[in-house]
Amino acid sequence: MTRVDFYISPNHAAQARQDLACRIADKAYQQRHRIYIHTSSLAEAQLIDSLLWTFRQGSFLPHGLYGCDEQDDCAIVIGHQAEAPSDNKDVLINLATDVPLFFSQFERVAEMINEDETQKQHGRERYRFYRDRGYELNTHQLKE
């Protein structure tokens, strides 16, 4: 059964969830996982694509946008589509406001929450969704 982790950042910055997603992707990549980062829109997917080049000096995370030819060799794929890539089934990092229909195809799901009230409300709804279906839930309170 899929394991679901909620990462709660005390950061109020508008880009806090995206920065946290990059950190989680980096950690998962170092553990040799294949990762799919699910976003709410193409614009957010492109932001994550850009952030993965710059979020930490000296790092390189092989990544590509879902549907691009380069994604085939990437450990990290970023998209916003209604389906997930067929070969990236280790870790799903969800930045969308709702639970993706395909979440249970992954071994792990990472949910990003920050101090934004709207994001916290969406996070509570996703938490209830997973809890009501019996998924293993873990919460990680992060420090700044």
Q: pTM value?
A: 0.93
The CATH-assigned architecture of domain 3-141 is 3-Layer(aba) Sandwich (3.40)
- Structural domain boundaries in the chain: 3-141
Residues 6+ apart with CB under 8 A from 12: 114, 115, 116
pLDDT at 127 over 60: yes
For the chain, give the percent of residues with pLDDT over 70: 96
| Residue-wise pLDDT tens digits, 71-97 | 567 889 999 998 888 776 899 999 999
pLDDT confidence bin for 12, thresholds 50/70/90 = confident
How confident is the model over 112-133, as a mean pLDDT?
95
Residues 6+ apart with CB under 8 A from 16: 9, 114, 115, 116
pLDDT at 68 over 80: no
Q: Which two tokens stand for residue 101?
A: 């229909």
Rounded to whole angstroms, the Cα distance separating 119 from 97 reads 7
User: What's the confidence (pLDDT) of residue 70?
Assistant: 58
Q: Would you list the DSSP string of 31-63?
A: TT--EEEE-SSHHHHHHHHHHHHHSSTT----E
